[in-house]
Copies of this chain bind each other. A is one copy, B any other.
Amino acid sequence: MPKFSLSQNNGSIVSINKTEISQWFKSLQSDICQALEKADGKGKFMMDAWERAGGGGGLTRAFGNGRIIEKGGVNFSAVFGKTPENILRALQLPESDFYATGVSIVLHPFNPMVPIIHMNVRYFEMSNGTWWLGGGIDLTPHYVVEEDARYFHKVLKDVCDRHHPDYYPEFKKWADDYFYLKHRQETRGVGGIFFDRLAGDPPFDKSQRFNFVKDIGEAFVPIYTRFMQANHHLSYGERELEWQRLRRGRYVEFNLVWDKGTKFGLDTDGRTESILMSLPPQANWVYNYQPQNGTREAETLARLKKGINWIGTL
């Protein structure tokens, strides 16, 4: 889908450099924004270009005035400079320079029957030659619908399986563990996949890893526009909106308490408005709220658990 594609030569590219990766990410951002505007039919992504004091910058695209999507954004950034202290410490490395680039998306729909979605793809390298790719995509339905979760996981499994049979089971488990509100003993939603520090260790090389990340990036539009189109006509009332606002509160809790990207960004003086674009338009908290047994809200809570095999025997 992106106009600028490195895989056009069928994997014959020998070395992919940071600039090419970054350009591909930027092109992905543009394509995703265009496709989401088309699917929404009304809203537009505005553009905010920003620069980072230490080097590099980004293009933040925040969505507004939508018909299906209420709030959200698609962020691109490519930043560089001195490697942050905590990364050096974690990797036990001496001072070096880093380069980090990626695309990050969160979308909050109006209709509680349309799930919240998140995707992130990223590349990191240091001047000592270390590099890795990372990313993830996870779905947060306000009401868990088994067949929606099954469809989502099936698409992800198909993409993963094209690259390595271990990818889906491994990255699905990683998502269960990562998108987890420890203080609630709840998963954020029905999970998806999460992966980090994918490097060139045999049998993988950089092209293979990057091709996987590209496939994930390109899976975003068909996945989410399907949910937008199929679910935004479903009816709902005040009860569903109330529940949506409570679930959005959980989304806030995850992003501000547990999400490593958010924490890293806020700790290292990232651009606050771009980092917190992931927050919902509105969130509510009610002390010790417990849905009544047998309701769809209680059923949803019961499905926000790690280790569910959504695909089943498919």
Contacts and interface: CB of A to CB of B under 8 A. Distances in A.
A287 B256 contact: no
A162 interface: no
A289 to B, nearest CB: 9
Interface of A: 48, 62, 64, 71, 73, 182-184, 245, 249, 252-253, 256-257, 263, 266, 269, 272-273, 275-277, 279-288
Given A256-B253, A256-B257, A276 B281 contact: no
A257 B280 CA distance: 16
Contact of A282 (B279, B283, B288): B283
A252 to B, nearest CB: 6
Complex copy number for this chain: 2
Contacts of A285: 71, 276, 279-282
Nearest to A258: B266
Nearest to A265: B183
A281 B242 CA distance: 12
A277 B263 CA distance: 22
A184 to B, nearest CB: 6
A288 B257 contact: no
B287 A62 contact: yes
Given A257-B266, A266-B183, A277 B287 contact: yes
Contacts of A284: 281-283
Contacts of A266: 182-183, 257
22 contacts: A48-B288, A62-B288, A64-B287, A71-B287, A73-B287, A183-B266, A183-B272, A183-B275, A183-B276, A245-B282, A252-B252, A252-B283, A253-B256, A256-B256, A256-B257, A257-B257, A257-B263, A276-B285, A280-B285, A281-B286, A282-B283, A283-B283
Nearest to A279: B285
Contacts of A273: 287-288
A280 B249 CA distance: 10
Contacts of A272: 183-184
Given A48-B288, A64-B287, A257-B257, 13 more contacts: A183-B266, A183-B269, A183-B276, A184-B272, A245-B282, A252-B252, A253-B276, A256-B256, A257-B263, A276-B285, A277-B287, A279-B285, A282-B283
A275 B181 CA distance: 14
A73 to B, nearest CB: 7
Contacts of A280: 285
A62 B257 CA distance: 23
